[in-house]
Every structure is written in structure tokens, then in C-alpha cells.
Amino acid sequence: MAILIIAEHDNAVLKAATLNTITAASQMGEECHLLVAGKSCRVVAEQGALVNGVSKVLLTDNEAYEYQLAENMSKLVTELAPNYSHVVSAATTTGKNFMPRVAALLDVAQISDIIKVESSNIFQRPIYAGNAIATVESLDAIKVITVRGTAFDAASASDVSAPIESLDIVNDAQISEFVSEEVAVSERPELTAAKVIISGGRGMGNGENFTLLESVADKLGAAVGASRAAVDAGFVPNDMQVGQTGKIVAPDLYIAVGISGAIQHLAGMKDSKIIVAINKDEDAPIFQVADYGLVADLFDVLPELTDKL
Amino acid sequence: MKILVTVKRVIDYNVKARVKADNSDVDLANTKMALNPFCEIAVEEAIRLKESGAATEVIVVSIGPKACQEQIRTSLALGADRGIQIETDSMPESLNVAKLLAKVVEAEQPGLIIMGKQAIDSDNNQTGQMLGALLDMPQGTFASKVALVGDKVHVTREVDGGLQTVALNMPAIVTTDLRLNEPRYASLPNIMKAKRKPLAVQTPADLGIELKNHTKLLKVEAPTERQAGIKVNSIEELIEKLQNEAKVI
């Protein structure tokens, strides 16, 4: 049976996390169908049709799916699921929101945030803030799975466009509605997709000092992240948080500045290829995972780093 | 309005989990246990709603072996009114937890259910959403603000791009993010008082639920350890290493 992948998008652009999810799904079975549910989102379906590994795109275009509210999305996906062996989405806040509802409606388990596909029914996932890796076998007929994007490569583009099939299924539960949103605007690369990330912690002292990181980020084309301490102290908004409760990243280069390296922060970044730590406390736990450590005052070295890059 | 809060007993967040030598699971023998941090925030939010006059009673539920009564007592000391323990030998899978909770909800008829967004041991982030599906109730997951507006609850959610606010019909389910509030500490008199608050014990059989395994844990391994690298002495040396040795910039 085929695999159903639920596309993440903002009604205009297919989100990068979906490309990683398609790669993971392709390892579970042969045929992958991509569901694009939204409002005026045909353009997203067209983007999805051009991804390697997608053999068909299902498009549902209705107001009920505009903000991908969990109550409506879960009913739509549950209706389609019996034709599939696997239902898969990215473990983003959107996927995490509606997928467990799908699982419960189907009376099956959800396997969250997988990092490896061992076979069509055996998966690996991190537990205890990444301090242990569990290998889990699914005993259910339909497997509901969310995928950790950083653990899989992005699917490439294809020359051939897969067929797009329009579905006319409307599920408006009418028990919830969208009120408003506040989107953080940034010209830098998206945190979860960036090749280089520079993050600041409590050691940054205040929000203004994050401009020191931004100067370095501009030179490196990097995204700027933060530890929970920096977010809680109000230095930066929460969507910049890297860690167990924030975003999970795995860039080529992660530069941790003024971050001690608590378990919860390491959970979000320890799969980075190269980790650099800049901290004035030489006993900070971050140095135990850093490939290159510099014991120094960040206020001295950050301007120097910007100058020399 | 009654508020139902769910709490889970988990490894203390400061403790690094160790994998058993036979790779069967994580070793929790003699490990410090505590209230899951997200559940603590859920309890705090419920108590604040009661203090504001919006709620009349806060009921706290935990599922697991007898030891989880300790976490129920902690929640009672923080201000919850009464506790329910559903006794199981081990910690059931999320779907089973959701089914047990659904029965409690049907019996208690709360106007709001507040839960943590995830437990820091299993890191599943599922139970609240599953409960929502089973009860056909709306959900406000990853909440950083909860406001009662008329007959609805407005929940500001932490999403990948920033914040999103949704309006939910009540009864509704809210799962907490870390920034929802700062939990209080229990005072000694309140800890003493909590010992006398009612705590009912039920079993899955009492609730008419048969626990079913949907997954099988095959093995638990330690992740590949990262080795500490080297210390550099200057920014020049750092840039040189990153360019020539690691080749990442």
C-alpha cells in the first residue's frame, strides 16, 4: 500500500521540512502520495508534484484548511488514511499538532520524531532529551509517523511532474477558529534549514547584544538561534529557541556563544557537524561536545570575529 | 467551571538518563523523580484561573504506579483541590493514557483540561491531542497564553514562525508550553494541608478500559557520544581551523 505524506505549507510555498519527510517516507515503501490541504494552494501542489519520490499529489482546496487547524485537518487525513499503510508528516509544530489526533481517530499509536527508518514497521527515535535512542516496532495496520527533518536529506527536484488530483472533501468541525498570528520576520535563513547557526545564551546579557551575533551571522550567511535562558530573559523571541522544547537543528556549523550547554539545549543541536563554543567559563558543559572551544569573553571576541571573517 | 489537570511522574530534568547495560530501557532505579516540568506549568495555570474566579475546582489526575501519588500530592500542595490516581503497573502508551483520561473527563465534566505539551522522558507530544480527538474537543496546543473570552477560550500558541491565536469552544484542551507561566513553590503549611486533601484511586478496569500495546520497544541505546574537541587560543586560530581543518566556512 502507498504512503500518505501531509505537506506543510503556508498556502504559497511548500516548506522545506516536507522535502526531508518525503525522503524518510520513501524509505518506508514504494509509492508516496502528497496531500496538500489549504486554501488557494494549487501553487503548493504544483511545487510538490515536482519533487522526486512523489507519485501523486492530492489537493484539497477549502477555507476549512486555510490555517491547518488540527480539528479539521485530522478529520480529513483520517478519512484518507484507510487507503494507506503509513501516514507521515514533518515533526514541526503543525505536524505535532494534528497528527496525534489522526492516530487517535484511527485507534493507532503515533511514533513521534523518528530519526531512522529500519524497515517499514521499525523506527528509531530519541527519548529523554536525546540521551537515549529507542528502536520501536509498530504493531498497527496504519502507521502514523512524524519525522525529524534534520535526520533525513531533502528530496531533490524531479523533471517530471506527478499528476495532481483534486479531492472535494470538506471537514469543518466548527469547534475552533483562527483568530490572529504574529509572524517573526527575518531576512536570515530559516533556523531548521540553515547551514550555519550562531546562537546566544544568557551570557549575551541583553537583547541589544544579539546584534553582535547578527554581525557574525551576516558574514557567514547564518541563522541566529538562542538558548531557553536567552528567550526566557526576554532577549529574543521564542521561535529562535534551540533545544528539547524549541527547534531541533543539525547545521554544518553551530556556534554557541555564552551558552553553558544544559541537557535541554544539547538535545536540540548535538547532531550538528561541527560545534564551536565560545564561553568564558572553561568548565561549561558545552565544551564537552564542542569540536573547537574558545575560553574568552564574548564581548571581546565577537567583534574580532566579525572583523576577521 | 471545573478544571482537570493531568500530571506525570518523570525523571528529574537535571538528571542525565542512563541506558541499561542490556539495552532493554533507560535505568530509572535510584533516580531522582519529579513532576514533569510542563505538567507543573499546567497545574500553575489551573490554580491561577481558580484564583481569578474563573474556575471553581481544580482536579489533578495522574496515571501510573503508586509512586505517582507523590506528584499528585505535590500538585495538591500547589493548590489543586483533589486528586485521582489511575493505578497501572507501568506507564501506558499515550493512546491508552488518552483513553483512560477520556473516561475521567466523561465522569467529571470539566470545562477546561490543561496538560503539559510533552513529557520530558518519552518526548512524544501526543496525549493532549489524542484526548481531543477521542472527545471531539478542540485543542490549543503549545500554549503561551490562555484567556477566557465569553464562552470561548483564546489560546496563543507557540508555532514555528512565531505565535498564533485560536478561539476554542468549551470544553477544550490546552497543552502548555514553557512560557505560559512561572510555577510557584509549595509552602510547608500547604504541603501539610495537601496530605489531607482527597485522593481517589481507580484502576483501568474500574473505568472499563483494557490497555492495549500498539508498539513494541525493541531496544534502547545510548546515542553516539560526541568527543570533546580541542581548545583554541584565539579567534585567528578558530577561523583558521574552521576554514582549513573542518572546512565549514
DSSP B115-175: EES--TTT----HHHHHHHHHT--EEEEEEEEEEETTEEEEEEEETTEEEEEEEESSEEEE
Lowest mean pLDDT among A191-195, A297-301, B133-137, B152-156: A191-195
Integer Rg of chain B from CA: 21
Interacting residues of B23 by C-beta distance below 8 A, sequence separation 6+: B219, B220, B221
Residue with the three cell numbers 517516507: A25
User: What is the rounded distance in angstroms from the CA atom of residue B249 to the CA atom of residue B240?
Assistant: 10
Q: How confident is the model at residue A129 (pLDDT cuts 50, 70, 90)?
A: very high
Residue with the three cell numbers 483520561: B101
pLDDT, one tens digit per residue, over B60-113 is: 999 999 999 999 999 999 999 999 999 999 999 999 999 999 999 999 999 999
User: What is the rounded distance in angstroms from the CA atom of residue A223 to the CA atom of residue A216?
Assistant: 10
Angle (CA) A144 A45 B162, round 5°: 70
The residue of chain A with its CA nearest to that of B216 is A137
Interacting residues of B96 by C-beta distance below 8 A, sequence separation 6+: B204, B209, B211, B212
For CA atoms A79, B173, A129, B100, the dihedral sign is negative
The yes-or-no verdict on residue A299 having pLDDT over 90 is: yes
Asked if omega into B171 is within 30° of 0 (cis), the reply is yes
The residue of chain A with its CA nearest to that of B171 is A175
pLDDT, one tens digit per residue, over A170-196 is: 999 999 999 999 988 888 998 988 999
* Average pLDDT rounded to a whole number, residues A16-37: 97
Between chains, do B218 and A136 touch, taking CB under 8 Å as contact?
yes
Q: What is the pLDDT of residue B6?
A: 98
Residue A202 corresponds to which amino acid? R
SS3 of chain A: CEEEEECCECCCCECHHHHHHHHHHHCCCCCEEEEEEECCCHHHHHHHHCECCEEEEEEEECHHHCCCCHHHHHHHHHHHHHHEEEEEEECCHHHHHHHHHHHHHHCCCEEEEECEECCCCEEEEEECCCCEEEEEEECCCCEEEEECHHHCCCCCECCCCCCEEECCCCCCCCCEEEEEEEECCCCCCCHHHCCEEEEECHHHCCCCCHHHHHHHHHHHCCEEEECHHHHHCCCCCHHHEECCCCECCCCCEEEEECCCCCHHHHHHHCCCCEEEEEECCCCCHHHHCCCEEEECCHHHHHHHHHHHC
Query: Quick check: A254 and A276 in contact, CB under 8 A?
Result: yes
**Separation of CA A228 from chain center:** 17
Q: How many CB atoms lie within 10 A of CB A309?
A: 15
Q: A53: left (phi > 0), else alpha (psi -120 to 50), else beta?
A: left
> What percentage of chain A exceeds 70 in pLDDT?
100
Between chains, do A177 and B118 touch, taking CB under 8 Å as contact?
no
Q: How many CB atoms lie within 10 A of CB B97?
A: 26
User: What is the rounded distance in angstroms from the CA atom of residue A125 to the CA atom of residue A91?
Assistant: 12
Q: Which of B44, B40, B215, B221 is nearest to B124 (CA)?
A: B215
pTM: 0.95
Q: Are strands A122-127 and A116-117 parallel, antiparallel or unpaired?
A: antiparallel
Q: How many CB atoms lie within 10 A of CB A82?
A: 10
Q: What is the ipTM of this complex?
A: 0.95
pLDDT, one tens digit per residue, over A48-77 is: 999 999 999 999 999 999 999 999 999 999
Q: Is B89 helix (H, G, I), strand (E, B) or coil?
A: coil
Between chains, do B141 and A70 touch, taking CB under 8 Å as contact?
yes
User: What is the rounded distance in angstroms from the CA atom of residue A255 to the CA atom of residue A187?
Assistant: 19
Q: How confident is the model at residue B235 (pLDDT cuts 50, 70, 90)?
A: very high
* A189: its cell numbers: 535563513
User: What is the rounded distance in angstroms from the CA atom of residue A151 to the CA atom of residue A154?
Assistant: 10
The yes-or-no verdict on residue A37 having pLDDT over 90 is: yes
User: What is the rounded distance in angstroms from the CA atom of residue B9 to the CA atom of residue A284?
Assistant: 29
The yes-or-no verdict on residue B20 having pLDDT over 90 is: yes
Interacting residues of B233 by C-beta distance below 8 A, sequence separation 6+: A294
Between chains, do B218 and A74 touch, taking CB under 8 Å as contact?
no
Q: How confident is the model at residue A17 (pLDDT cuts 50, 70, 90)?
A: very high
Q: What is the pLDDT of residue B161?
A: 86
Question: How many CB contacts within 8 angstroms connect chain A with chain B?
Answer: 259
The answer, for A263 touching chain B at a CB cutoff of 8 Å, is yes
Entry field: residues in chain B:
249
Q: What is the pLDDT of residue A233?
A: 94
Query: Quick check: A261 and A285 in contact, CB under 8 A?
Result: yes
Integer Rg of chain A from CA: 21
pLDDT, one tens digit per residue, over B172-227 is: 999 999 999 999 999 999 999 999 999 999 999 999 999 999 999 999 999 998 88
pLDDT, one tens digit per residue, over A71-109 is: 999 999 999 999 999 999 999 999 999 999 999 999 999
Residue A171: list chain B partners with CB under 8 A.
none
Q: Which of B158, B174, B201, B226 is nearest to B54 (CA)?
A: B174
Q: What is the pLDDT of residue A185?
A: 83
Nearest to B222 among A108, A132, A293 (CB): A132
* A196: its cell numbers: 550555519
Distance to chain A for B195, nearest Cα, Å = 31
Distances from the Cα of B122 to the Cα of A7, A34, B96, B159, B224, angstroms: 26, 29, 14, 21, 19
Residue B169: list chain A partners with CB under 8 A.
175-176
* Average pLDDT rounded to a whole number, residues A235-259: 95
Distance to chain B for A59, nearest Cα, Å = 24
Residue A138: list chain B partners with CB under 8 A.
214-215
* A60: its cell numbers: 484539497
Mean pLDDT, chain A, integer = 96
Mean pLDDT, chain B, integer = 96
Residue B24 corresponds to which amino acid? S
The residue of chain B with its CA nearest to that of A70 is B139
Q: Which of B119, B143, B145, B141 is nearest to B131 (CA)?
A: B141
Query: Quick check: A291 and A269 in contact, CB under 8 A?
Result: no
The answer, for A288 touching chain B at a CB cutoff of 8 Å, is yes
User: What is the rounded distance in angstroms from the CA atom of residue B23 to the CA atom of residue A42?
Assistant: 48
* A119: its cell numbers: 524497515
Q: How many CB atoms lie within 10 A of CB A173?
A: 17
